[in-house]
Amino acid sequence: MSIISVKNLIYKYNEDEEDEVTALNGLSFDVEEGEFIALIGSNGSGKSTLAKLLNGLKEPSSGTVTVDGIDTTDKPHIFDVRKTVGVVFQNPDNQMVASIIEDDIAFGPENLGVPPKEIDERVDWALACVGMSEHRKGTPHRLSGGQKQRIAIAGVLAIKPRVIVLDEATSMLDPRGKKEVMDVIEGIRERENMTVIMITHFPDEAARADRVIALDRGRIVLDENAHSALSDVERLRAYGLDAPLPARIAYELRRRGIALEGEIVTNSELKEAIWRLK
């Protein structure tokens, strides 16, 4: 069974009012356990709305979202849904509940009624996962954006979700912060075999995923293996999206008559292709 299953999902803001806006218009996709999915789309394509639908913060106007067999509109079981799917949001400052890091991370497990000793262990573990163990007793306000976001991720990890959704979690960070967060996510994925859904509008970040789902005006326009999706520069552009830099370089070179071989998404692939030129 898929861990998340979305069927004919429609979501409208201000439903049945004059200013009704259809944010998502008939999405269907399944997420298998252990997948690393990048959800891309230009502004207003409905990416962030989808994030909130995945753990029941919003309810679908029609269609269903099922998490580990539980419908997200099933109120008595909503905490089972949220326990399974953890969401990290865009602005790290707005996700801090407490003014001491360990207390903030303990917030999730405390809500779930985990015994005190285990909460303590989970906090240790979550901080180790994001490489912030030495900051346990510190306050978040003096940290850099990347570090704050790592704390926010630790706060979600402490709940021990099976799926972690990152809603543009790197968009407010500087390049160094972005790299920090991306490295942490890859680390978690490798060690904990967690399912990751990363919402982003940075093509270079999407290139780290296995599968890419692209949204355009509330519809899925692309759902395939990340490599082939991101190497097709023209198709991405048609949906208002950018390809990763190496793919764009390869595209421009080809347009100028240089016959590079294969699908090119990463730096090393571009390098290989250039070396193989005769």
**Nearest residue (CB) to other proteins, 141 versus 255:** 141
Q: Which stretch binds other proteins (CB under 8 A): 22-30, 76-84, 231-239, 260-268?
A: 76-84
Residue 92 CB, nearest distance to other proteins (Å)? 10
Task: Give the residues across from 215 on adjacent strands.
Answer: 41, 220
DSSP 76: G
DSSP SS3 for 121: helix
Site string for other proteins, 160-199 (x = CB under 8 A): ----------------------------------------
Residues 221 and 208: their CA atoms lie apart, in Å, by: 20
**Nearest residue (CB) to other proteins, 122 versus 201:** 122
Residues 192 and 159: their CA atoms lie apart, in Å, by: 13
Torsion angle (degrees, nearest 10) of CA 103, 93, 95, 48:
-160
Among the listed residues 155, 177, 218, 246, the single contact to other proteins using CB under 8 A? 155
Give yes or no for a contact between 213 and 29, defined as CB atoms under 8 angstroms apart.
yes
- Residue 114 interacts with other proteins (CB under 8 A)? yes
Task: Give the residues across from 85 on adjacent strands.
Answer: 163
- Residue 68 interacts with other proteins (CB under 8 A)? no
| Joined tokens for residue 239 | 């949906």
Site string for other proteins, 9-48 (x = CB under 8 A): ----------------------------------------
Among the listed residues 38, 39, 50, 106, the single contact to other proteins using CB under 8 A? 106
Strands of 163-167's sheet in order across: 85-88, 163-167, 195-200, 36-41, 211-216, 219-225
Q: Which position has the token pair 């407490």? A: 98
Among the listed residues 2, 10, 33, 107, the single contact to other proteins using CB under 8 A? 107
Q: Which position has the token pair 């942490």? A: 184
Residues 206 and 38: their CA atoms lie apart, in Å, by: 5
Residue 83 CB, nearest distance to other proteins (Å)? 6
Q: Using the CB atoms, write b or e for 203-217: b if 16+ within 10 Å.
A: bbbbbbbebbbbbbb
Among the listed residues 5, 45, 49, 55, the single contact to other proteins using CB under 8 A? 55
Site string for other proteins, 127-146 (x = CB under 8 A): --------------x-----
Contact residues toward other proteins (CB under 8 A) are 52, 55, 57, 79, 82-83, 86-87, 89, 91, 93-100, 102-104, 106-116, 119-120, 123, 141, 152, 155-156, 159
